[in-house]
Amino acid sequence: MRILEEKIDYSEFSKIDLRVGKVISAELVPNSRKLIKLIVDLGTEQRQILAGLQKWYKPEDFVGKFVVVVANLKSKIMGGLESQGMILAAPCGDDKKPVWLTPQEPVEPGSKVC
């Protein structure tokens, strides 16, 4: 894997609002073989976030877990539902299973990642 060579300055990076969220519910998206609908507590609000992770995870794997969310990503319609953010994950192993990023210890939902 090659690291992207194009560099950005801090002012560009600081535009990304990364927040810790706690998944309060999760369910399969009807008529989708990929999507899981997560309801994520971001402290001051709850967001619906869709993740294409059915191949590797069951909805119950997420409930009660902390995730890192791109909170200021424009909403997108997926599987007929609105996704209001993105959880961060990194591929692992031969099958490139996405492993979601999580804080090492519990933190307050909505905490800014810095």
Kindly state the average pLDDT of the residues 15-23.
97
Across 68-91, average pLDDT? 96
77, 24 Cβ separation under 8 angstroms: no
User: pTM to 2 decimals?
Assistant: 0.90
| Selection from 104, 103, 84, 48 nearest residue 112 by Cα | 103
**Separation CA 40–CA 9 (nearest Å):** 30
The pLDDT value given to residue 9:
92
Q: Which amino acid is it at 29?
A: V
Mind listing the domains of the chain with CATH numbers?
Answer: 16-100 (2.40.50.140)
List the structure tokens of 34.
């990929």
